[in-house]
Amino acid sequence: MLHTKASNDMKNILTFIIPVRHPDNVNDWSQLKRKLNETVRSILNQDRDGWKAIFVANHSAELPDLPKGFEVKRVDFPPNQLYKEGNGKKELFYEALRFDKGRRILAGMLSAGEMGHVMIVDDDDFINHRLTSFVGSNRDANGWYIRDGYVWSDGGHLLYRFSDFSRLCGTSHIIRADLYKLPTSFEAADDVYIRRVLGSHIFLHDDLDASGTPLEPLPFIGAVYRIGHAEATTQTNNIFKQFFLHKYLLKKPWELCRRISKLRIKTQEIEREFFGF
């Protein structure tokens, strides 16, 4: 069932924060808008009310028309000068990416008001339509990491089921809002917090374990990571180059067979579950 709005009386179940890059960091804005529309459709497909979604975008960024349930937080952040992988040392690229993404997420979260759980959604990914109903049935939980997710080459007919998804994709954690320990204002946040806690998905699991508030694995496939398009922040080509075109697989046929078994056809059922078609 397609829901077109998030009800006000249940607004604190699940908040989606979608950071949008600076227009100067995008080669083709019309293509980015198309992907934003597709991500909107995926979020809009949640199987119950109780969610809201916040886009965080510069004032100069032209967004698609957004349906009810979506809000926009406008910011004036400058462009990321290292937005393309390869513009300098790799670690500097990642640090710049984390800072730019993290400050957008912080601005969105501080503007959100009351939140139950929070999920960061990259602007070109897709999510399972059951997330809000699942979180609504487990409101006191610390949260979840997506252990199993799909990797999809943009426009392709196959998906790859990846079993360490939260280490691969930024659209991979649902966390109770209080565990973020948000600062009282944007100015009160230090750079390390912005980069490590908000700007990156790779530290969250271990950091919450260490703090005594561990996440659980989401008990179903939670999201689709879209790769292989011109506006992707990290230039991963497609699922075959990512998972199959490796010489060492020729010496490990059992591993090749295992990987082949992870391929899935993009059926209508999967489209309904993630893409909102």
The rounded distance, in Å, linking the Cα atoms of 58 and 22 is 6
For 210-239, what is the mean pLDDT? 84
Burial status of residue 192 (CB atoms within 10 A of its CB: 0-12, 13-18, 19 or more) = exposed
The rounded distance, in Å, linking the Cα atoms of 69 and 213 is 30
Q: Which residues pair with 143 in a beta bridge?
A: 175
Give Rg (Cα) of the chain. Answer: 18
Model pLDDT, residue 234: 54
- More confident call, 251 vs 195: 195
Domains detected in the chain: 8-145+165-223 (3.90.550)
The answer to whether the beta carbons of residues 13 and 52 sit under 8 Å apart is no
Q: Name residue 218's amino acid.
A: L
Asked whether the predicted pLDDT for residue 189 surpasses 70, the reply is: yes
Model pLDDT, residue 241: 84
For 242-268, what is the mean pLDDT? 84
For 207-229, what is the mean pLDDT? 94
Q: What is the mean pLDDT of the chain?
A: 90
Backbone angles phi, psi at 9, to 5 degrees: -75, -10
The rounded distance, in Å, linking the Cα atoms of 276 and 41 is 6
Asked whether the predicted pLDDT for residue 125 surpasses 70, the reply is: yes
- More confident call, 93 vs 11: 93
The rounded distance, in Å, linking the Cα atoms of 50 and 132 is 7
Model pLDDT, residue 6: 42
For 203-226, what is the mean pLDDT? 96
Could you tell me the pLDDT band of residue 44, with boundaries at 50, 70 and 90? Answer: very high
% of the chain with per-residue pLDDT over 70: 91
The rounded distance, in Å, linking the Cα atoms of 174 and 144 is 5
Give pLDDT tens digits for 72-102: 999 999 999 887 665 557 888 889 999 999 9
pTM over cut 0.85: yes
SS3 assignment, position 52:
strand
The rounded distance, in Å, linking the Cα atoms of 255 and 258 is 5
Could you tell me the pLDDT band of residue 7, with boundaries at 50, 70 and 90? Answer: very low
Give pLDDT tens digits for 51-66: 999 999 999 999 999 9
